[in-house]
Amino acid sequence: MNHRYSRQELFSPIGKAGQQQISTKHTLIIGMGALGSGSAEALVRAGIGQLTIVDRDYVEWSNLQRQQLYTEEDAINRLPKVIAAKSRLTAINSSVEVKAIIADASVEELEGLAHGVDLIIDATDNFETRMILNDVSQKLGVPWIYGACVGSYGISYTIIPEKTPCLVCLLENVPLGGLTCDTAGIISPSVNMVVSHQMSEALKILVGDFDSLRKKLVSFDLWKNQFSEIQVDRLKKSSCQSCGTERTYPYLSFENQTKTAVLCGRDSVQIRPSVLIERDLETLERLLANHEGVVQRNPYLLSYTVSQHRLVVFKDGRVLVHGTKDISEAKALYHRYLG
Ligand SMILES: [Zn+2]
């Protein structure tokens, strides 16, 4: 038990003092898919003090190939990812305080969750969330580490408020691959490589060694054996709406953020009610039992299968409609069965 962190303490840039630092820090991870699982496990093993994990989804069979925290049992039980992750993470290191949030990382959610946090890890699969995250980071002065991967490709960059350009500055100048919703598939080594880049930067930030940060945008393609680093400091713009001298934080004020979204690489649409309200899943189960179709429920979500569609209802009112990419068809199913 006492020797738990001995190898990490022997690593001189961390040492006993650094280890002490790590144990007092709080990190927020947005998304608990492949990147989120890898980062969460690395941080928990490294002895982070507190970890908050946020995800809107539940475990499916297609996740098991690369999302290292999850098991077949989690997929069979359709456990929300953060619930399955928390139990695995706590089994790995019981001294870490892990907070699991089942939610869509919307503006309201993110701003609240990022308060008082030392570092944010981007493990989302969509650009809308990253833009919100970027503004929250600038507004609260919390560093964040961007990461994305698709196929055998991956990319990462560390954003330090007041020091480096932000994601908006970069977007206007650098083609950031791997950002679009893609059905090209993915292999786990690309995930692990992005996680390695994100986590080495995370450790530097957590021990306060800012001089050692990479300061470059890194990208790679493991199948094509390509690596590249781009120096991007000069891309910081004083006119940037997110990190410049006169900021408006445009992505925090978008009241018209999409309430429906086609999920990345999946035959699914998410519908988010404009006001999140707690749904009584037990009552809903009774109501749906009068319809044709199959209802299943666990403490976190209700799943309703009817013909080739499946509707998954979360307690916060969100609904995933599987079996279509068509938003109006998804809405029609939503209104027919869920009011
Ligand atoms: Zn900027």
* Domain edges within the chain: 6-252, 258-338
Residue 281: strand, helix, or coil: helix
Give residue 136 CA to ligand 1 midpoint distance, Å.
12
Place 256 in a pLDDT band, splitting at 50, 70 and 90.
Answer: very low
Give residue 5 CA to ligand 1 midpoint distance, Å.
37
pLDDT of residue 181: 52
Give residue 84 CA to ligand 1 midpoint distance, Å.
36
- Higher-confidence residue: 272 or 159? 159
* Phi, psi of 148, rounded to the nearest 5 degrees: -155, 155
The CATH H-level (homologous superfamily) assignment of domain 6-252 is NAD(P)-binding Rossmann-like Domain (3.40.50.720)
Give residue 239 CA to ligand 1 midpoint distance, Å.
8
261-267: Cβ within 8 A, 24+ apart:
261/126, 261/128, 262/181, 262/325, 262/327, 263/320, 264/125, 264/126, 264/181, 264/182, 265/125, 265/181, 265/182, 265/183, 266/322, 267/322, 267/323, 267/324, 267/325
Give residue 137 CA to ligand 1 midpoint distance, Å.
11
Give residue 140 CA to ligand 1 midpoint distance, Å.
14
Give residue 242 CA to ligand 1 midpoint distance, Å.
5
Q: Is 181 a catalytic residue?
A: yes
Residue 284 pLDDT > 80, yes or no? yes
Helical residues (DSSP H) of the chain, grouped into ranges? 6-10, 15-22, 34-46, 72-76, 81-92, 107-114, 127-140, 167-171, 188-206, 250-253, 281-288, 327-338
Give residue 87 CA to ligand 1 midpoint distance, Å.
37
For the residues 135-139, what does the mean pLDDT come to? 96
pLDDT of residue 258: 58
* Structure token pair of residue 322: 């599987």
Q: What is the DSSP letter of 163?
A: T
Q: Residue 91 in contact with residue 44, Cβ under 8 Å?
A: no
Give residue 29 CA to ligand 1 midpoint distance, Å.
21
Top-confidence range, 166-175, 187-196, 319-328: 187-196
Give residue 243 CA to ligand 1 midpoint distance, Å.
4
Give residue 94 CA to ligand 1 midpoint distance, Å.
39
Residue with tokens 């002895």: 47
* Phi, psi of 122, rounded to the nearest 5 degrees: -85, 115
Place 178 in a pLDDT band, splitting at 50, 70 and 90.
Answer: very low
**What is the pTM (predicted TM-score) of this model?**
0.85
Lowest mean pLDDT, pick from 220-229, 253-262, 279-288: 253-262
Q: List C-alpha distances in Å: 203 to 8, 39, 133, 145.
A: 11, 11, 20, 11
* Closest C-alpha to 221, from 320, 324, 150, 321: 150
Residue 182 pLDDT > 60, yes or no? no
In angstroms, rounded to a whole number, what is the distance separating the alpha carbons of residues 322 and 72? 20
- Residue 228 contacts by C-beta under 8 Å, 6 or more apart in sequence? 218, 219, 220
Say which of 149, 181, 240, 243 is annotated catalytic.
181
Residue 156: strand, helix, or coil: strand
For the residues 37-62, what does the mean pLDDT come to? 96
Residue 120 pLDDT > 50, yes or no? yes
Q: What one-letter code names the amino acid at 294?
A: V
Say how far residue 304 (Cα) sits from the centre of its chain. Answer: 26
pLDDT of residue 179: 47
For the residues 57-80, what does the mean pLDDT come to? 96
CATH topology of domain 258-338: TATA-Binding Protein (3.30.310)
The pairing of strands 309-314 and 319-322 is: antiparallel
Residue 254 pLDDT > 70, yes or no? no
